[in-house]
Amino acid sequence: MKNISFSFNKKAKWKYAFSLLVLFSLINSSCKKPDYIQSNKSNAAVTLSAAKTSLVLKQKEDANDAVDFTWTTGSNRGTNASISYTLKIDKQGNNFSNPVTEELGLATLEKKYTVKDLNNLLLTHWNFPPDTEATLEAKIIANVSDNAAPSDSSNVMIIKVTPYLPVSSTLYLIGDATPNGWDNNLSVPLTASPTESGTFTWDGHLNTGNLKFITTLGQFLPSYNKGADNSHLVYRNDNSQPDDQFVISTSGNYTITLNLIDLTVSITTSTVPPYQRLWMLGDAIPSGWNINTPDEMRVDSSNLFVFKYNEVLAAGEFKIPTATGNFTTDYYMPLTNHQALTSTGVQLVHDGNPDLKWQITNPGPYKITLDLQNATINIKPFTPYTQIWMVGDATPVGWNINSPQALTPDPSNPYIFTYTGPMLAGEFKFPLATGNWGCDYFMPEINHQDLGSQRVKFVPGGSPDNKWQITVPGNYKITLNQLKETIDIVKM
């Protein structure tokens, strides 16, 4: 039989030796017994302690730690068995017959309760009344695995805690100054702060009139009313108590911020629209129910509170989301589901609940205008004009309203009109009738708007009197889309 030999170069020997070392290390580690940190071989009993044993809970601190229980490891009686822990808390005198029980597992020597969590336990588990001191008992049980040794129970700690009555987690605007009036089933929700307990905010349009705040839809009580002044609230839970309300003397867009814990409120006018972008969503819209890429509304550059959408709509529903990519965003919705298209009422609904929608029953072209400042919406079917003219000193006929320059209709698209020909240095606009300067017009959104902008605005009665301006005379092709309210002005 031939001898078999192996030869290694120096580098290969080192790699081989290193591999063997790693292998032996893995085998060695897998054969070790678990290192239980609870393997206390003394006979010391488990003991429970806490830094604070007398507490007055406050809702403003509900995210803070209220009580921090800690305990010693206890003993496994020298068995090397693992120890797990169970914390029990109960009302004093119950002898732990109705405890809160926390199974904490291995290697755990601490349990914390936040102010909010401890307060909820006091009010809901043991039904302690708020603002009254409650006495609790707590103990920790050390359980040795596999019954290798008996379990051990710690000393019983006494903790005295005064809970608070939490303020409402919901709040609504009600009153003739608010978008939905005094109907407590349609009251407008405020937005709760995710980080500051008791704080709510709202942005939107208020009418002249009165308002207050209710906590529950469909119920006038409890409410938060005007307190000593316009900066303070008072809690009202009985009809015999004064029903003082906040007064809005000037209609407009407002920002409301209030704190139910401090009973403070701020109602200030706002000059900035609550949203810079809005969209259209629904099966009445060409893009359908696609929340990722819905059709965007157009902001009126002359009034940033006004949003417009002009389109041929299908039979179906729609609503107006304030963001994309998430169906649970906030929406502008009708006051009631499928409200009449002639109704101008609109409301901002947080998280899209209740899910109210407008309904298109007669498909066709529509022009929709949403005014955030006045909290109104206009949804109107659109009948295209069969004739459109151009007037101004930039046109070949000048300012002759009796016989202005006619545009040419597109035979394949009733919404499109064009003009191709010479334009002089000067101004122009598009009247929708002849012989009357007070007729309706298509105009730019702002006066002397850049010719590269495609924005057109329908202006009833021709006021404000905005016009396009030609500074470089020559031949131009002008294309007007009366449905989409767009224009292309191209020098040839």
Q: Give the tens place of pLDDT for each residue, 260-289.
A: 999 999 999 887 888 999 999 999 999 999
Name the residue among 344, 345, 320 with its Cα closest to residue 331. 320
**Distance (Å, whole) CA 2 – CA 21:** 31
Report d(CA 153, CA 74) in Å as an integer.
9
Q: What is the pLDDT of residues 184-224, one digit of tens each?
A: 998 989 989 888 889 999 988 888 999 999 999 999 999 99
| Rg from Cα positions in the chain | 37
Contacts of 146 (CB under 8 A, 6+ apart): 81
Least confident among 8-22, 174-188, 199-213, 402-416: 8-22
DSSP per-residue codes, 114-139: EHHHHHHIIIIIS-PPTTS-EEEEEE
CATH 2.60.40.3620 intervals, the chain? 172-269, 279-381, 389-491
What pLDDT does 97 receive?
95
Burial label, 9 (beta-carbon count in 10 A; 0-12, 13-18, 19+): exposed
Q: What is the model's pLDDT at position 148?
A: 66
Q: What distance in Å separates the CA atoms of residue 405 and residue 478, rounded to the nearest whole number?
A: 12
- Specify the CATH number of the domain 172-269: 2.60.40.3620
The answer to whether residues 344 and 357 touch, using CB atoms and an 8 Å cutoff, is no
Q: Is the pLDDT of residue 89 over 50?
A: yes
- Domain 48-162 CATH (choose: 3.40.50.1370, 3.40.50.620, 2.60.40.10, 3.30.70.2860): 2.60.40.10
Q: Can you give the pTM of this predicted structure?
A: 0.56
pLDDT at residue 388 greater than cutoff 80? yes
Structure tokens belonging to residue 461? 């009665």
Q: Looking at domain 389-491, which of 1.10.260.40, 3.60.15.10, 2.60.40.3620, 3.40.50.300 is its CATH number?
A: 2.60.40.3620
Task: Please report the pLDDT score of residue 42 as a whole number.
Answer: 54
pLDDT (tens digit, 9 = 90+) per residue, 455-474? 999 999 999 999 999 999 99
Q: Which of the following CATH numbers is that of domain 279-381: 3.30.230.10, 2.30.30.760, 2.60.40.3620, 3.30.70.580?
A: 2.60.40.3620
CA-closest candidate to residue 56, choices 137, 122, 100? 122
Alpha carbons 396 and 384: distance in angstroms, whole number: 25
Q: Cα angle at 358 between 353 and 361, to 5 degrees?
A: 145
Structure confidence at residue 194 (pLDDT) = 84
| Residue 230, phi-psi category: left (phi > 0), alpha (psi -120 to 50), beta (remainder) | alpha
Instruction: Kindly report the average pLDDT of the chain as a whole number.
Output: 90
Query: Is the confidence at residue 6, as pLDDT, over 60?
Result: no
Q: Is 29's pLDDT higher than 80? A: no
Intervals of CATH 2.60.40.10 along the chain:
48-162
